[in-house]
Structure 1
Amino acid sequence: MALKLITLDLDNTLWETDPVILRAEKASFDYLVQSCPAVADLYDADSFNQYRKDLAECYPSLRHQVSKLRLETLRRVCLQIGCDRDEAARIADEAFAVFYAERSRLDLFEGALEALQLMSDQYPLIALTNGNANTEQAGIRHLLVEHFNAEQTGAAKPAPDLFLAALQHAGVEAHEVLHIGDHPEQDIDAARKLGMQTLWVNVLGQSWPDNQLPPQWQLDHWRDLPSLLSRLVASLETHD
């Protein structure tokens, strides 16, 4: 069995995401309050984020459109304090730009860039993400043949849409693909159900859920990728 494609998740697979999002949300909210001080009479940072989550619950189609959801939240809050539609749209765009600039300042896990370079020399790489990370600003876009996100495909992992988009783009079968990711359900279980090989990245030291089959392969530090990939490929070849 030959390996022909590697797909990989981004957030919490190549970098730690939560601190980045918190920083970006604070910068965006601070900009919003600076532009429209009346916002502070209605929301603090926590209640503002809760309002965004409430919108996602009310409008399920926005759940996987993370950029659109943030923009819509900003726009609605501006309308709530009395901005006209054009002003609300302008301020929302500006506040989101602040968010996205901070969200795109990413520090890859130690050894991750070198591992990506190694893999891209041997296989086509396709990024599959539920988020909206900017791979150009992360400095890895040149290593990817394609980058699909949930907003493009219309559904977030663990739905199969992102994986199927990669298979179609590369023209390969599921069993010829290795998917690499951090999330037990959204990455590993979802890819395995489609027949892909799977590699669980556990740099952040998660506990594997008791109710799921253990991962086929596990990576605790990106520096171990070269030897692990060699063993993984050798194992596949023995099943030809």
Structure 2
Amino acid sequence: MAIRLLTFDLDNTLWAVEPIIVEAEAAMYSWIEQNCPGTSQLYSPEGLRQYKAELAECYPSMRHQISKLRYETLRRAFMQAGVSHDEAVALAGEAFAVFHQARNRVTFFDDALQTLEDLNKDLALIAVSNGNADLKMIGIHHLFDHHFNAENVGAAKPSPDMFHAALNAAGVAAHESIHIGDHPVEDIATAATLGMKTIWVNFDERVWPLDHVRADAEITHWSQLALQIERLADR
């Protein structure tokens, strides 16, 4: 079977995202303390996270627009501290920029970057992610033909919209593609439902949690990926 397309999740597939978000939020909050101390008196870091979660509940349409949601959280928090609307808009833009810059300082899993560079020589690669990673800021945009995320598609995984967009952009059938990702439901089950082959990124060596579907292959280190792709292509 010829494989023509590889789709990749990003967060927790190419890099561990949790420590990145922790550092990015800390950098953002430090900026807020220096530039709008009234807001830091109103909200602790945990308070800002809780407020963001509350806004997501109140405005479901923003749940997959995570950049807009964070910006709107900041704008409202600044206004609650007594600054004008125009100043709150400016401050929110600057605070989000601090967060976003730090959010895109990633540390790749071992062998991830070299493997992407090698695969890019022979196959189309497309990123599909619920997160707001910026491939250009990270420095890997040249390795991907397209990048679809929840914000530019309008729906987050496990909706199949991103996968449909990737298949259509590459002009390939589902059975000619392999999706690589860490989430059993959002990545593996959703892609498998469409007829894509799947490789589960399981660096923590978890037990597979689903009964109704299984990944076609599994890796516990990025160095294993190329061989698993070859095996699936030979089936």
TM-score bracket, shorter-length normalisation: over 0.9
Return the letter of the residue paired with 1:204.
D
Match of residue 102 from structure 2: 102
Match of residue 167 from structure 1: 167
Q: Distance in 2 between matches of 1:112 and 1:127?
A: 14
User: By how many angstroms is 1:161 displaced?
Assistant: 0.8
TM-score (structure 2 length as normaliser) = 0.96
CA contact (8 A) 2:184 2:210 kept: no
Q: Distance in 1 between matches of 2:40 and 2:224?
A: 48
Match of residue 231 from structure 2: 231
Q: Distance in 2 between matches of 1:2 and 1:100?
A: 38
Match of residue 199 from structure 1: 199
Q: Deviations over 1:58-117 (max 9, x none)?
A: 101111111000100000000111111100000000000000110010011001011111
211 and 44 in structure 1: CA distance in 2 versus 1, 3 angstrom threshold: farther
Identity rate of aligned residues, in percent?
A: 49
212 and 103 in structure 1: CA distance in 2 versus 1, 3 angstrom threshold: farther
User: By how many angstroms is 1:41 displaced?
Assistant: 2.4
Match of residue 146 from structure 1: 146
Q: Distance in 1 between matches of 2:33 and 2:205?
A: 37
Moved more, 132-141 or 175-184: 132-141
Structure 2 segments unaligned to the other structure (5+ residues)? none
Return the letter of the residue paired with 2:110.
E
Greater than 6 Å deviation, 4+ residue runs: none
SS at match of 2:56: helix
User: By how many angstroms is 1:208 displaced?
Assistant: 2.1
Moved more, 33-42 or 143-152: 33-42
Return the letter of the residue paired with 1:22.
V
State the aligned residue count. Answer: 235
Match of residue 38 from structure 1: 38
Match of residue 76 from structure 2: 76
Match of residue 50 from structure 1: 50
User: By how many angstroms is 1:211 displaced?
Assistant: 4.1
Q: Distance in 2 between matches of 1:212 and 1:73?
A: 39
Match of residue 64 from structure 1: 64
Q: Distance in 1 between matches of 2:64 and 2:3?
A: 30
Return the letter of the residue paired with 1:54.
E
SS at match of 1:101: helix
Q: Deviations over 1:23-82 (max 9, x none)?
A: 001111121122111112221111110110111111011111110001000000001111
Return the letter of the residue paired with 1:188.
I
61 and 180 in structure 1: CA distance in 2 versus 1, 3 angstrom threshold: same
CA contact (8 A) 2:126 2:147 kept: yes
